[in-house]
Structure 1
């Protein structure tokens, strides 16, 4: 039963296709494979980071030359998201072997399910697929909207200025330092396209890495839910047969161990990027929210409002799926309790008790052991972001852009 995982992978492959990340292909560390399969990623990496360097230099120069707080915070969240995109994409590229192993573990689990109620199995799987597709579609909409707004707003600004004053004042989506004048009409179109493709790379890397995370979490949570149903029905209504119970219990225990191993594998891939995500999310939310309230240009304000929604959705879903892993793993304990454990002999009851006690300790994802990935962490991130936002508002300059 590889429907859930493989079908979900197909729905997100397009996010990686044009930036050189191959999710399900073995890539050897030799010159031929690197040139064949990594060249597009390396080009995208260099393309993006030329703009990242320019953005960092602009922020530094702006701080040294007395730019207003509003001008500085305009570029800061975009630069931070670029750095996050780098970390997230590298977490997949550098952990390619671990990703392939995780895929193998998940497929093995999905292809070795032995649950009696086929209708119930299909219902549980369908629920996971339906919810995951809704999440991915929502992300695609908000990400596309954000790209469109940042791409169109400068053009609208140029058009309105020309209509009002009769002069063309060239504007770019992002503020960067270049070794030439980017507002020269000879260079402006190329710089504009370069910046927008960099923005596309950022959104693709962040969304693609996160969607893969959601897909793996959905598959793992579905496995925990199927295991719960099997645990609840491990003891039949008819007379108890200890040999049959022993075989079935052994099979379920092996499945339980395999699911927990897949959680550990998933964390080993995402732990470092999740830590960076947690550390930067408060700043991203704070700075983006500040821009929404500080910018007087309606077009750019709407662009940052969309950016804020994208940032909030990104960190919320990360914590939400981490919370799902914890909850579904602990519910295995309740499933054991809901079985007819009281009808079996002491030896069989002890076996069930061991599983119940182990399941009370949740399988969880962490931000490199800094914090658990769950909804409590999301509320802490929001609280910290609000504190930073309040501090920025007290420092706000009356200058507007």
Structure 2
């Protein structure tokens, strides 16, 4: 199967950024970005106001139903704002990765080495975009569907909105309801675009760096006394990949921290809503939970991948035919092994390393929050 070009891999991400008012090859941020950010901020303010107005021990179920939408809105706007702040660094990183990918496609061995990973990341992102597209469609269009159903069943028109918001006027009239409804679903799509684009960029950039570590490991493993002259080039390439890994962590360390902090709360609230909430929203809860779990899992898997692939460079150096090399080459190989022993990591602003362990910790923390919520909700003297 023919591998896609770098432009094809980044096509959807670049298109999403353009819709949001950002161009990766242009340092200018367009008016759309500021407009969408203000619209989303106002929507979040309306949701948070409604949430605060309902804070009470008697409204735990309702609050758990409202919380995920508030959390994902806050998360999406924070992630996109900090990515824009790192826009120039992103542009430089993407440009470097494009050149490396182009070189890999020109080499038959390297192309075959990364083929599976490139095709897998394309499939993963396609399903991720589809899942979140279905999720936002369910949330956006469920309100009018329930309105129609209620009208047919009881001959009574009850105006419903897709997201609970507190606005300074009544929405029990067609004109005001339609304005708030259109505004709400527009903000829903902006929110989805914000965080899916950020996640897709994270996954593709991390995958590309991992692929280049794999290519480097393959070159190192084939080192011997006959091609020892290429050792200097390999060292330079290794240092270059270490720099790109550091840049990647610098770009995403704050978004990763937000994911880490908010993810546990989202899973807890969605789990509580699934077990005790309104069953008419069951499909939305399930899709939302799947989206959050997939988002955190993707973050963890690619974080683990970069740890594994960067460590393999040292393992490949140990397994190469270094016995027949001269003393200088042996010292260089040893230095490469020592440096590779300190694997590259993506972090949540240095508070935690993004890996399988962080995924387990998020799930564990979510379960702890969930059991506390269940205990608070149940009458005293009963336990889960």
- TM-score by length of structure 2 reads 0.93
Task: Provide the residue aligned with 1:98 in structure 2.
Answer: 89
Question: Which residue, 377, 388, 391 being the options, matches 2:358?
Answer: 377
CA distance in 2 between counterparts of 1:292 and 1:145 reads 18
User: Unmatched 5+ residue regions in structure 2?
Assistant: 380-384
CA distance in 2 between counterparts of 1:101 and 1:333 reads 27
CA distance in 2 between counterparts of 1:249 and 1:56 reads 58
Task: Provide the residue aligned with 2:14 in structure 1.
Answer: 13
Conserved 8 A contact 1:5-1:215: no
Aligned pair 1:56/2:37, yes or no? Answer: no
Figure out how many residues of one structure are paired with residues of the other and give that number. Answer: 377
CA distance in 1 between counterparts of 2:75 and 2:118 reads 27
Q: Secondary structure at the match of 2:163?
A: coil
- After superposition, what is the alpha-carbon deviation per residue over 1:322-357, rounded to whole angstroms, capped at 9, x for unaligned? 111111000111111221112223332121111011
CA distance in 1 between counterparts of 2:273 and 2:244 reads 40
Deviation at 1:4, TM superposition (A): 5.4
Deviation at 1:250, TM superposition (A): 0.7
- After superposition, what is the alpha-carbon deviation per residue over 1:266-304, rounded to whole angstroms, capped at 9, x for unaligned? 111111121111011100111011112222333x12111
Deviation at 1:119, TM superposition (A): 2.8
Q: Secondary structure at the match of 2:23?
A: coil
Deviation at 1:397, TM superposition (A): 6.3
Aligned pair 1:191/2:162, yes or no? Answer: no
User: Unmatched 5+ residue regions in structure 1?
Assistant: 28-36
User: Aligned-residue CA RMSD in angstroms?
Assistant: 1.9
Deviation at 1:152, TM superposition (A): 2.5
- After superposition, what is the alpha-carbon deviation per residue over 1:62-99, rounded to whole angstroms, capped at 9, x for unaligned? 116x7511111111111111110011101221111211
Question: Which residue, 234, 238, 247 being the options, matches 1:256?
Answer: 238
- The residue correspondences of 1:258-273 to structure 2 (distance < 5 A) are 258-273=240-255
CA distance in 2 between counterparts of 1:129 and 1:140 reads 17
- After superposition, what is the alpha-carbon deviation per residue over 1:180-209, rounded to whole angstroms, capped at 9, x for unaligned? 112322211121111111111111110001
The 3 A distance-change label for structure 1 pair 5 and 367 is: farther
CA distance in 2 between counterparts of 1:259 and 1:265 reads 10
- TM-score by length of structure 1 reads 0.89
Deviation at 1:379, TM superposition (A): 0.4
Deviation at 1:112, TM superposition (A): 5.3
Conserved 8 A contact 1:332-1:359: yes
Aligned pair 1:73/2:54, yes or no? Answer: no
Task: Provide the residue aligned with 1:208 in structure 2.
Answer: 197
CA distance in 2 between counterparts of 1:296 and 1:99 reads 42
Deviation at 1:306, TM superposition (A): 0.5
Q: Secondary structure at the match of 1:68?
A: helix
Task: Provide the residue aligned with 1:128 in structure 2.
Answer: 117
Conserved 8 A contact 1:5-1:219: no
Conserved 8 A contact 2:223-2:322: no
CA distance in 2 between counterparts of 1:119 and 1:79 reads 48
Task: Provide the residue aligned with 1:44 in structure 2.
Answer: 36
CA distance in 1 between counterparts of 2:236 and 2:42 reads 49
- After superposition, what is the alpha-carbon deviation per residue over 1:237-257, rounded to whole angstroms, capped at 9, x for unaligned? xxx35xx523x1110000000
Conserved 8 A contact 1:68-1:397: no
CA distance in 1 between counterparts of 2:305 and 2:5 reads 17
> Relative to structure 2, which stretch is displaced further, 347-356 or 203-212?
347-356
Conserved 8 A contact 2:110-2:215: yes
Task: Provide the residue aligned with 2:288 in structure 1.
Answer: 307
Task: Provide the residue aligned with 2:207 in structure 1.
Answer: 218
CA distance in 2 between counterparts of 1:4 and 1:375 reads 30
Conserved 8 A contact 1:329-1:362: yes
CA distance in 2 between counterparts of 1:129 and 1:212 reads 14
- After superposition, what is the alpha-carbon deviation per residue over 1:103-127, rounded to whole angstroms, capped at 9, x for unaligned? 2332343455699xx3321112322
Task: Provide the residue aligned with 1:296 in structure 2.
Answer: 278
Deviation at 1:3, TM superposition (A): 6.1
- After superposition, what is the alpha-carbon deviation per residue over 1:335-391, rounded to whole angstroms, capped at 9, x for unaligned? 112211122233321211110111111011111100001111000000000111111
